Amino acid sequence: MAEVTVKFIEPPVNIDVDMSKITWRDLIELQKVQRQGGDEEQAIEAVTKIVSRITGQDAWDLPAQVVAKVVEEMMTMAGLGGTAKN
């Protein structure tokens, strides 16, 4: 059997995020989903909708690590968790 080598690469990704597009309704919805902790589909839809709006790109098509980083930063800036560095 031939030797198979797999090399994982992680090229840098730069994405513009417009935090001014997060609305008060978005924050309330995120808090509600976070507090309830039950309906995973609802949480995924809510976060995906917001990430798509603030990046100007369809979050479903973005690399997973990009969405995770945007969500982490978004939650930190909104005061809902995360660990942003000042």
| pLDDT per residue as tens, the chain (86 positions) | 899 999 999 888 899 999 899 899 988 888 887 787 667 888 889 899 999 999 999 999 999 999 999 988 888 877 766 544 44
- Asked if residue 73 is part of any domain, the answer here is yes
- Asked if residue 9 is part of any domain, the answer here is no
How far apart are alpha carbons 24 and 6 in whole angstroms?
45
- Asked if residue 26 is part of any domain, the answer here is yes
- Asked if residue 86 is part of any domain, the answer here is no
pTM of the model: 0.75
- Asked if residue 37 is part of any domain, the answer here is yes
- Asked if residue 31 is part of any domain, the answer here is yes
Cα-flanking dihedrals φ and ψ of residue 46, to 5°? -65, -50
Cα-flanking dihedrals φ and ψ of residue 79, to 5°? 75, 25
Number of domains in the chain: 1
Domain interval for residue 65: 19-77
